[in-house]
Structure 1
Amino acid sequence: MKHRGRHRRRRRGAALRAVLAGTALALTAAATLISASQADVSGGPGALRPLSSPADTGRLRLQEHLVPARSLNRLSAAMGRPVGVGNVLESTDRGMREGSDCSADDRASLPVTPAATRAYCWDPADAASTDWQPASVTTSGDADDDGVWGRHRVVLSGWTHSTTTGRAAERGLARVAFVDADDPDHLAYRWVLLVVPVQDGRDYRGLTSGISGMVWYQNKLLVTASTGSADALYVYDLDRIQRTTVDGPAIGRVPGGWSADGYRYVLPAVGSYRFASGRCTASGPPCPGALALDRGTAPDSLAAAEWTEPGSDQKARLWRYAFSTDPARAGLLATDPAGRVDAVEAHRTRAAGIRGVLSYRQAGTEEPSWYVGQLPGSRDGHGGLWRQDGKGARAAHCGADASHRCWAQSAGSLSYWRETGEVWSLSDRMLFALPLAALDRSLE
């Protein structure tokens, strides 16, 4: 159960704004990055086209599948009492360096326009490996509107292991960095391995899925499933983190206890959402590649973007699902009595290679704008970030050639922290944040 500490909200918010005002980074290295090799002055993705026909919206329908409570209880009874986010943060064992202390190559991966106001590079033990790649981010600003979880400000970053390199037992696994962000000058984190209960809760296996999108809402963490899967999303309960008891390479029950490839903590899935019409394909359900929370809708909603290959002619889809307002279903999507989830809004965009998505309604506007972060067609170098609506699309321009490739290098997902007005994202080398207002100014 979450202890929100709402009585501290005003005091925390004022202190936080004061801290943020004094921690902007002068990350000038990224501002000189554009070169001839990056010039990619391509046309924009254009205006959004609404999708409303049953043939289009029916492909977005999900079916909820929850792990039986008896299975989850059996697993926790065998492993010991579950722990919460605070317990993980109390045992952080890796530190992050601020942008000015990171290498030139690290800083060169940051956005060119607008510049990041805060940026951090990962512990060298993680940054040195190319087998694990960061792809998604969400924060306690998503989890609750006061921006804190218990006593802490938290950033979660999802990483996926390569399916072709490294030890065979690790390939395709997914893990989450639980980052203690209470002190903006000294971020620290601990890894938690994502797993899936099997054998009716008597064991678990590692989740083998690319988590390119991730949203923390209330006490649930929703992550994307791998492209081509019948599963669209996996669901995790952040009140059900479990400690392992054996430090070994195996994953699951072992002689003497429970192991997770050397990780101290595992997070077992509590459910999934599968496409009702089968596996995602170009002509069927869309493979979700990016997720974000939108608190500007009623009820709050989960925004999603389809993954298509960068530079392809396949038009991607953007859509949203409503979250449930039933207190007994905290953090889950709204379903009908048969457990089905229908999209409440859908659009078609000409953008391809979408790795980040946000939906946000500006003051004085009737409809929300959709922000999409794209990989370049070559998948190499900096991508672009566009703001789209039903009238058109805008992107920042940078360099003498007015390139649109101004966003981060191999950029990941986007997360809007409403309390601070910041957008969090990550490159292939760094975690960073910048004000949404600055992002919008760069698109004018």
Structure 2
Amino acid sequence: MVGPGVLLEPGEERGAAIDALGALLGGPVGLTAVLADLNRRGRRSRLVPARAVHRAHTWDRPDRRTARWWPQGVSSSADADATGLVDGRRLLAVSWYAAGAGAPQGSRVTFVDLDTLAYRHVLLVVPRLVDGQVTMEPLRVHAGGLVWYGNHLHVAATGRGFLTCRTAEVMRVPDHLGAPAEHPFGVSGPQVGSFGYRYLLPVRRAYRAVAAEEPPGLRYSFLSLDRTSSPPVLVCGEYGRGEQSTRLARFPLDPDTSLPRVGDDGRVRPLSVEEGVRGMQGACVVDGRWYLSVSTGPRVPGSVLVGRPGDLVRRRWAAPPGPEDLSYWPSTDELWSVSEHPRRRWFYSLRCERLG
């Protein structure tokens, strides 16, 4: 069904600000530069408290234990390209948000080589032009969902809708401009403060959540790509507890641009809006079949619900504690996800055939 009032409005592109930031930093280097400069390494995990996990990996010790950064969204090179490869590699992309002490560092995306488990964090930034001068600030969103489709990375921003970056616009902070990690963030005289991050990915455009009528606009808590639809479809949903809404929506994408398809009125309208379940953390659609992840806290394994909205079967203890966003890999028939809690933090896959 098509729900009332669920709309998206595309914002203005930040092309001029991105160009100005590129002029300062020496131009974009793209994702290829990041993949040639992976500086951390995860490891395989064999003992994971879940019934349906097919393969599981974890981060290096600092990322596995930190309470400053929390992994949330997940996408992959199988979303980005129908071949399943980007730059000849099988890649996972994971979004994190910063928590505590005002969360000044915002959000980041991690690109993981699934064959070597080497990875690197890239900080998400919002560039601006102020009186003709470029400045920037961290992107402060929950980043609960992620879709990598073509050259675009779509980042969930809850009540704000979602934000879109271009992976080709990744920029590197040159050594002669980089400031120490404790330096104030932003452009300050001859230095660029980036919390010590070498690579930055600027936000190009926002897709704002609006509502033409009651109920209020959709909260974009998580995102996924349905490549089993033709053309592919963007799947969005709401995390909700108590009296909060828990809707699931599907939006059309233009396969030529990898962006939402805008109507004649300048808005993006959903193909359908359905009712989900309380506590959803992620959702995927595979050949019309829905998979929803639901957490039961930091110590108890999570559940995956399978079926169609209104007729879902709960697979208890299918996922590790704290399961988040979901992403489907068609060639292996696997769902990828991440778990968020420190010391119980994995990126892992689930075989769909084991979920029913």
What's the Cα RMSD here?
2.1
Structure 2 regions of 5+ residues with no counterpart?
none
Q: Which residue of 1 aligns with 2:311?
A: 392
Residue by residue over 1:377-430, the C-alpha shift from the partner in whole angstroms, topping out at 9 and shown as x without a partner, is x6763222101316611122xxxxxxx344221111110011222211111211
Inter-partner Cα distance in structure 2 for 1:314 and 1:125? 35
Decide whether the 8 Å contact of 1:136 with 1:212 is kept in 2. Answer: yes
Q: How does 1:35-434 map to 2 (within 5 A)?
A: 50=1, 52=2, 56-58=3-5, 60-100=6-46, 107-108=48-49, 112-114=50-52, 116-162=53-99, 165-166=100-101, 168=102, 170-171=103-104, 173-181=106-114, 183=115, 186-199=116-129, 202-226=134-158, 229=159, 231-245=160-174, 246-248=178-180, 249=182, 250-277=184-211, 283-309=215-241, 312-325=242-255, 327=256, 330-349=257-276, 351-361=277-287, 368-376=288-296, 381-389=300-308, 392-396=311-315, 404-428=316-340, 429-434=345-350
Cα gap change, 1:391/1:374 in structure 2, threshold over 3 Å: closer, same or farther? closer
Cα gap change, 1:291/1:375 in structure 2, threshold over 3 Å: closer, same or farther? same
Cα gap change, 1:69/1:313 in structure 2, threshold over 3 Å: closer, same or farther? closer
Q: Which has the larger radius of gyration?
A: 1
Decide whether the 8 Å contact of 1:136 with 1:413 is kept in 2. Answer: yes
Match of 2:324, SS state, is coil
Decide whether the 8 Å contact of 1:61 with 1:341 is kept in 2. Answer: yes
Match of 2:153, SS state, is strand
Inter-partner Cα distance in structure 1 for 2:205 and 2:128? 12
Residue by residue over 1:176-199, the C-alpha shift from the partner in whole angstroms, topping out at 9 and shown as x without a partner, is 111122x2xx31101100011112
* Count, aligned residues: 345
Point out the structure with the larger strand share: 2
Match of 2:261, SS state, is coil
Inter-partner Cα distance in structure 2 for 1:276 and 1:315? 15
Inter-partner Cα distance in structure 2 for 1:247 and 1:302? 38
Give the drift of 1:70. Answer: 2.5
Inter-partner Cα distance in structure 1 for 2:127 and 2:265? 24
Give the aligned residue type for 2:152.
K
Give the aligned residue type for 2:98.
H
Match of 1:370, SS state, is strand
Decide whether the 8 Å contact of 2:209 with 2:219 is kept in 1. Answer: no
Give the drift of 1:127. Answer: 1.5
Match of 1:419, SS state, is helix
Inter-partner Cα distance in structure 1 for 2:117 and 2:146? 20
Inter-partner Cα distance in structure 2 for 1:293 and 1:187? 23
Point out the structure with the larger helix share: 1
Give the drift of 1:172. Answer: 6.1
Give the aligned residue type for 2:93.
L
Structure 1 regions of 5+ residues with no counterpart?
1-49, 362-367, 397-403
Match of 1:352, SS state, is coil
Inter-partner Cα distance in structure 2 for 1:391 and 1:353? 15
Inter-partner Cα distance in structure 1 for 2:205 and 2:157? 12
Inter-partner Cα distance in structure 2 for 1:261 and 1:337? 42
Inter-partner Cα distance in structure 1 for 2:29 and 2:36? 11
Give the drift of 1:297. Answer: 1.7
Percent sequence identity is 27
Inter-partner Cα distance in structure 1 for 2:352 and 2:318? 15
